[in-house]
Structure 1
Amino acid sequence: MVPPMEYQNPVYRLDFPDPFVLYVNGQYYAYATNARGLHIQVLKSADLVNWKEAGVRGEALPQLPAWAEESKSFTWAPSVLARKGQFVLYYTTRLAAAERQCISYAVSDSPEGPFVDSSETPFVCQLEEGGSIDPEPFVDHDGALYLLWKNDGNCCGFPIYIYAQPLSEDGLRLLGEPVRLIAYDQEWETPLIENPSMVAHDGKYYLIYSGNWWESRNYAVGYAICETPLGPCVKPQNEPVLASAGRHVGPGGASFFRDAGGKLWVAYHAWREPYVGYPAGMRRLYLAQVDFDAGKPVFRRPEAEP
């Protein structure tokens, strides 16, 4: 476990967008959107500060399913669920037949992979709402599982929502029906919301999400408080809860995780001034410790310190 603030962001200095961190048996594994010719990036660390490539030269998912478009630029926003010796990788890829982003999953007996996707069709694919992206599992205190995601409505002029739906115990089947948790409805979020992540705290469920345009300084993280993992949810404020700090700008793609001692953290990416956007910039891996103050999440990050 890293003592409070005894590290500097970014903790990994290469491009590592939409990060997700998982702790398994003394190691932290971090997964991210495509970069450097990889479908899904994977790193590992013993201390959250010193990271190195894991998997096969940093690749968690060597092969996409047959229905997906074979383009590494369309594999996004991975997350991993540990289930009784098996690991389930949820990720976004492109349904070639429809030219829309959809959600799939792959499995492995190791958190490093290689993960194998043997699906014949997407796992979640709301074509009537533009597609589906940014999946992340949530495990409740009673062990109940849920999948969070976003419909890709901004691709084609549809309304945008964050969804949740129960999962089977093994994480491989959706149960019941999807529920809309929040919508894109605040000025700072323009033009979209995405990248949901959830944590339980003090009898409530805290949902964080990214808003605004990912390739800008105004990208940021908002939050909502939910009564249950399936809502209803309310946004307590009309501004981000995690925004640019100094030269570290456009934070987003945030995901909650717990360290070896149970401390709550969030992994996210950010640009560094003046290199915002590609090809000059990179979305590097950042970490913040999470506390709660009067029911509001507080993200303690070294770049925001005086």
Structure 2
Amino acid sequence: MKHPLATLGLAWLLAHSLTACGGSGGGASPAPATPTPNLATTSSIGDFPDPFVLVDGATSYAYATNGNGAHVQLLSSANRVNWTRQPDAMPTLAPWVRAATPDIWAPEVLKLAANRYLLYYTGRDNASGKQCVGVAEGTQPAGPFVDKRNAPLLCQVAEGGTIDASPFLDSDGQLYLYAKNDGNCCGQPTTLYAQKLSADGLSLAGPAVPLFRNTEAWAAHVIEAPFMWKRDGAYQLFYSGNAYDSAAYALGLAHCTSPMGPCTLHPGNPVLKSNLTSTPPLIGPGHNALFNVGGTDYMAYAAWQVTASGARGSVRYLYIDKVDWVNGVPTVTGPSLMP
């Protein structure tokens, strides 16, 4: 049965590793800039988990969790079909990040001015041993981004730590940060939080407000990867749930009355889930981010490789698809292997 986002148009794909939410990654060094072929027909780009796409002028930038010798993987493209690997966007670790196991995950970049970019990311905290959220500064979208802090920007140690930070700039100029407590690491519930940021994006400006917890049966023990999107004046909060490395991993949606909630879970959740009858088939899609080009919304997300036997493979692919909105609900037709 077809429902919103159940079958998806595949714009292009990249291979992903197991180092996404719930995985682990090691240290890194800058990766050489090498051209890559059309990603609609190849996965030779290598591991590229937890994708985020920033469109800045005529160039698009894709960021991902650590891998391929980089703390923050980075690709650039003039057409969002042919991509070039760039050097590590954050080659130097912050003082608060544990060097031996930095676990740099889920980077997202916010442009605040012509020469001011902020990169929010997850890293392993030296002091607590938990994964926490940091923010690094750069003068261009390719970086290098630098975080000189001695402590994380946000770390809910009592709740297992904090991961999957996602910034949101509202039309009134107020900045917000969305994140998830890492309770599933420690047998605790997981909650998505919203929090105001200062005008410069470098500090918290108020308490963290819980939006909702993992109460839906499909999400099981964990919800994560929050991403806020404003469309036609309505606030739509996307998130992922269930075990990231399983076919049960899926994408949920909540309708919020403001950036700080309250939020109502979409009754059709999950809005994006595994579909082995599509072409190509999908296993465990999730951890999405939206971007806009020429007035059209697009979604970047990850889904697992499917082997010839129909099983989950060892890598994940990046999908980018056009998003249509019907009565406030995102829909995507497909899938397709066309750029």
TM-score (norm: length of structure 1): 0.91
**More relative contact order in 1 or in 2 (CA 8 Å, sep 6+)?**
2
Which whole-Å deviations, capped at 9, do the CAs of 1:42-61 have from their partners, x for residues lacking one?
1111111111112x2xx111
Counterpart of 1:284? 317
Distance 1:6 1:236 in 2: 24
Q: Distance in 2 between matches of 1:301 and 1:174?
A: 40
Unaligned runs of 5+ in 1: none
After TM superposition, the structure 1 = structure 2 runs for residues 78-93 of structure 1, keeping only pairs within 5 Å, are 78-84=107-113, 85-93=115-123
The 3 A distance-change label for structure 1 pair 46 and 201 is same
Superposition pairs of residues 1-306 of structure 1, within 5 angstroms: 7-9=11-13, 11=39, 13=43, 14-54=46-86, 56=87, 59-71=88-100, 74-84=103-113, 85-237=115-267, 239-246=269-276, 247-259=281-293, 261-274=294-307, 281-303=314-336
Question: Structure 1 residues 40, 97: closer, same or farther in 2, change over 3 A?
Answer: same
Q: Give SS of 2:82's match.
A: coil
Write the distance in 1 (CA, Å) between the matches of 2:303 and 2:135. 26
Change (3 A) 1:303 1:212: farther
Deviation at residue 293 of structure 1 after TM alignment: 1.2
Residues 121 and 6 from structure 1, CA distance in 2 versus in 1: closer, same or farther, beyond 3 angstroms?
Answer: closer
The Cα offsets for residues 12-38 of structure 1, whole Å up to 9 and x where unpaired, read as: 722211111111121001110111232
Provide Cα deviations, 1:239-281, integer angstroms capped at 9, x if missing partner.
310112332211111011112x13111111111212866xx62
Query: Is 1:188–1:238's contact at 8 Å kept on the other side of the alignment?
Result: no
Identical-residue share of aligned pairs (%): 44
Aligned AA (2:109): V
CA distance in 2, matches of 1:119, 1:26: 32
Q: Distance in 2 between matches of 1:119 and 1:18?
A: 24
Residues 276 and 87 (structure 1), Cα distance of their counterparts in 2 relative to 1, 3 Å cut: farther
State the distance in 1 between where 2:243 and 2:264 align. 22
Is the 8 Å Cα contact of residues 189 and 221 (structure 2) preserved in structure 1? no
TM-score under structure 2 length normalisation: 0.82
Structure 2 residues not aligned, in runs of 5+:
1-7, 15-38
| Secondary structure at the counterpart of residue 184 of structure 2 | helix
Distance 1:276 1:64 in 2: 37
Query: Which residue type is aligned with residue 249 of structure 1?
Result: I
Offset at residue 298 of structure 1 (A): 1.2
Task: Give 2:328's aligned amino acid.
Answer: G
**Matched position secondary structure for 1:154:** helix
3-state SS of the aligned residue for 2:269? coil
Tell me how far 1:90 sits from its aligned partner.
0.4
State how far apart, in whole Å, the 1-side matches of 2:127 and 2:266 are. Answer: 40
Give the CA RMSD over aligned residues. 2.1
Determine helix, strand or coil for the equivalent of 1:222. strand
Q: Confirm or deny: 8 A CA contact 2:10 2:320 kept in the other structure.
A: no
Change (3 A) 1:68 1:165: same
Instruction: Give the deviation of 1:73 after TM superposition.
Output: 6.1
Cα distance in 2, alignment partners of residues 292 and 100 from structure 1: 38
State how far apart, in whole Å, the 2-side matches of 1:191 and 1:248 are. 22
